Each structure stands twice: as C-alpha cells, then as structure tokens.
C-alpha cells in the first residue's frame, strides 16, 4: 500500500469508528450536536444504536485493512461504500426535504472530503493493486 492509501484508510476508519462508537454509546449527545433532540424511548434509541454499532464495526474493518493484507480489499470497498453512500443520501435528502442544519451540512462536507481522498488514493494506476481498484 502507498502512503496516501494508508492515510485514506486511516482517516476513513477513524472517522467511521468514532462516529459509530458515539452513536452506539451516547446517541442523544451525538444527535444533539446536530441540533436534533431525541426522546428517551428505547425503541428509537435501539434503532439508532444498531447502525452505530455497524459503523463502528466497519471502522474496525477499514483500520484493520491498513495492517492486514487479506482485509485490504474489504477495507477499500467498505470505505468507498460508506463515504459515497452517506453523502448521496444527504444530497438526496437536501433535494427532497430541504436545507438541513449547519451541523448536517458540515458532516456532508466531511464525508465528501473523505470520499474524494479515498477515490484519489485508490484510483487506477496508483501503487500496489488493492482489490482490482488499482492497476496490477
């Protein structure tokens, strides 16, 4: 892996693990930072904690891909999927629902930046092959 590829996976993995962990451990505090007040209902909190756990686990896979060659392809696919899907969903929401809070727009900007970093790092012709995304 090239240095930029390790950096891309590191940034993507730490971000995903951190956000997922915060949603899992403290969903009210996490969403309050976006100006979203959550009720105390266990069903709502469970529905938020579950994908938080998934994001945290995917963050672990992304980070493991930096040091474990057999996980590199999965790490790249997971990073690109997360950081292309989240901004796509947010942009669709912006078109359908209107302008979200400044915190949500900041998250969109961060997600687009990480997506751009990952796309740049794993473009064809860069460094060693990773899952067919780079030239062999």
Residue pLDDT tens, the chain, 136 long:
999 999 999 999 999 999 999 999 999 999 999 999 998 899 999 999 999 999 999 999 999 999 999 999 999 999 999 999 999 999 999 999 999 999 999 999 999 999 999 999 999 766 444 555 544 3
CB distance 9 to 82 below 8 Å = no
Predicted confidence at residue 104, as pLDDT, reads 95
Phi-psi region of 8 (alpha: psi -120 to 50; beta: other; left: phi over 0): alpha
The pLDDT value recorded for residue 135 is 40
pTM tops 0.85, yes or no: yes
Tell me the Cα Rg of the chain.
Answer: 16
- 118: how many CB neighbours lie within 10 A of its CB? 23
Residue 16: predicted pLDDT: 98
What is the number of other CB atoms lying within 10 angstroms of the CB of residue 45? 14
Distance, in Å, from the CA atom of 85 to the CA atom of 124, rounded to the nearest integer, reads 21
Burial class (CB in 10 A: 0-12, 13-18, 19+), 6: middle
How far apart CA 3 and CA 23 sit, in angstroms, is 30
**Which pLDDT score is estimated for 118?**
97
């Amino acid at each position: 892996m090239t240095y930029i590829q390790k950096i891309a996976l590191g940034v993507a993995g730490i971000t995903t693990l951190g956000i997922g962990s915060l949603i899992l451990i403290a969903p009210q505090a996490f969403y309050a930072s976006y100006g979203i007040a959550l009720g105390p209902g266990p069903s709502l909190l469970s529905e938020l904690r579950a994908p938080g756990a998934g994001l945290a686990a995917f963050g672990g896979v992304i980070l493991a891909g930096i040091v474990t060659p057999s996980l590199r392809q999965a790490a790249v696919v997971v990073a690109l999927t997360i950081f292309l899907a989240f901004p796509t969903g947010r942009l669709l929401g912006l078109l359908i629902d209107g302008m979200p809070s400044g915190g949500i727009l900041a998250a969109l900007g961060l997600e687009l930046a990480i997506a751009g970093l990952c796309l740049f790092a794993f473009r064809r012709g860069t460094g060693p092959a990773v899952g067919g995304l780079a030239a062999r």
